[in-house]
Structure 1
Amino acid sequence: MKHLALAGLLAALPLGISLAQAADHGPIALTYGNRPFFLIDKMEDGPLKEKLTACIGQTPKTTTFSIGHRGAPLQFPEHTVESNLAAARQGAGILECDVAFTADKELVCRHAQNDLHTTTNMVASDLAAKCTTPFSPAADGKPASAECRTSDITLAEFMTLQPKMDAADKTATTAEAYLGGVPAFRTTSYADGAHLMTHAQSIALFKELGAKFTPELKDPAVTMPFDGFTMDDYAQKMIDEYKAAGIPASDVFAQSFNLDVVRYWVENEPEFGKQAVFLVEPQDDNWDEQDPSTWANSPAEIAGMGINYLAPAIFMMLTLDENGDIVPSKYAEEAKAAGLKLIAWSLERSGPLATGGGWYYQSITPAIDTDADYYNVLNVLAQDVGVVGVFSDWPATVTYYANCYGL
């Protein structure tokens, strides 16, 4: 890991940010911070706690087992320079840019094409009138609402926006108030002065940080083709930006929930296709991790398409045995049998786990009642399911575990 200051990094990247705008936050040295130890302290006594406690004195090391999910958005605005610097400092060896496109068909890092109303200040900016659905205040029992898309504005306009923590106050009666609503388990302490990125800028930043790349091509909110821009054009443009930057295909894990997109890469960009990742989540409420008849595509079918990496939501790979213990699901077992390399998403996304963990842990809710269960879940994913990487909103949690177990 290079020991570079934030100001130096920004100066080295084509971000259009002057040194006067970028404070020097010190060298990029690896740190676990306090959170892994906070979680370990909360664990019940047993072999896993003993193992993790025995590693307290270890030196943090970067690992590709630890993947920054939008950077480190538990506390930093997602898909910003600062969020990814935080993830790199926590030892994430792979960093993510979710890829969307602007009105002039330029690629930018956003979790969704239509999230600018919750992830930036657009509804309260000079660009507010360009939103697909401008801000509407809460009134007569109806919540406040808005929808602002990257495709509503040009790249130049996008870069004038101020990123913020992903949230909206649906009780708001003004656009400024709508920018609030941040969950109590997150913070706005690190949002001031954060910087948005284009996809190309994320490539430059991640390369400078010594990390590998996992860009996710997001399904558009607009009808495709968009002004002649097809899905194939979109998928190809993303890959072409890695080629233009001289990034070897072996360092890129291109991902998508769209099976047609992943197959496009496998068939048209075979070197990148070798590490293309098919992201999966249940298609409806009838999905059961133990019942193959409810799966849209079996792992064997996916492998038969030439896809080598599969990334299911955490709960898809886990279930409870007769004793109530967390164990691999039938879906996970069949994926391993098919020879697929598995990646899990997304640890630390749910916030406090005292009420069962929510959507990400729905198959094992009875076994989830404290934040310490993040490590219990991670241990089963790593040791029993055999995943090769884990996305996390706070990568230090995964990095600490991976370093302790030599992953």
Structure 2
Amino acid sequence: MSSSGGSGSNYSGSENPLPPPSPGIALGFSKSTFTYEELARATDGFSDANLLGQGGFGYVHRGVLPNGKEVAVKQLKAGSGQGEREFQAEVEIISRVHHKHLVSLVGYCISGATRMLVYEFVPNNTLEFHLHGKGRPTMDWPTRMRIALGSAKGLAYLHEDCHPKIIHRDIKTANILLDFKFEAKVADFGLAKFSSDVNTHVSTRVMGTFGYLAPEYASSGKLTDKSDVFSFGVMLLELITGHRPVGSSYMDDSLVDWARPLLSRALDDGNYDSLVDPKLQKQYNHNEMARMVACAAACVRHSARRRPRMSQIVRALEGDAQLSDLNEGIRPGQSNVYSSYGSSDYDTSQYNEDMKKFRRMALGTQEYGASSEYSEPTSEYGLYPSGSSNEGQTTREMELGRMKRNSQGYSGASSTS
């Protein structure tokens, strides 16, 4: 059974005790560790009626604690080394943060080989569900703007108000949870990394979701907060266009590749019709669209160094900053002519070829599941966030070794997680 003593509970194989998650107390919950029996009672025996989602990681169930508080209980698949790492990462990282636009961890359970994470319950599903789900009503423009701003504030907090800073590493629409007022909360910290200001980047295995990965990270494993900024830019493009990051309509191109020339043209002439989701029927605020388009263009620059910080994005979306502050004299799509990390620069054309090969490979495997059609339904709390999942859109870990074997002259760096 799990210990009720919080910091005294070790997860197997760890030399460091897990800290008691503090946000639970702040949210009015009386404890941070739970026994298996307590969570079984809360979820009615982990019944199918309370199932919120499932994937390679395991299952998420809705639960009600004795004090009436609703929670989401994420049960990690037993015996998974990756699951163990993600459990540790999520407890250590999310227990340190508390912000209106971040999902809070209430507590956790360690029982034998079982690992469970208990979150605050966010009732209105994910941005992916509302933006891309079949048969969903069209999300109006004010709602899209509110979600963009809220999630930007949550990410800015992780990057700039946490010490050491926290890099999320898997920003995507499926990890933005919504309440009934469509306020956004960033979720799923299982891949997140700490990064000290001393180290400009962390070398790591490339993990994340295909279509959202920053080019320098996908090609070399060099991770910075600007990797999250790129992923956020892809998400902004989804809010603007209504398109998914990858899909059959782009052939070999990603949403970013397709959008770059359109972004450049729109920023030049102020006409956004070629970019904007047709389902909006041109019902949007022109000034707000100009701000979001400028932010998206700046976030998805080839050069990581020339992408803005998330606090700059927040100010730009709020209208508190000049959009020219995002540009530094660069036109969208031209930043790849600048050196970003000197000797660490990737070769853009080589990266594009590698990504096309990986995409063809991913689309042909069960790991990618529903491929470009994304026909599987999605739900809260990090659906399908594992490379072992065969449902939905996520390919959690991009195996550089497989890409190397399929690409002559590929120069990805060896790395550790």
Aligning the two structures, in what range does the TM-score lie when normalised by the shorter sequence? under 0.3
Q: If the length of structure 2 is used for normalisation, what is the TM-score?
A: 0.27
Relative to total residues, which structure has the larger helix share, 1 or 2? 2
Q: If the length of structure 1 is used for normalisation, what is the TM-score?
A: 0.27
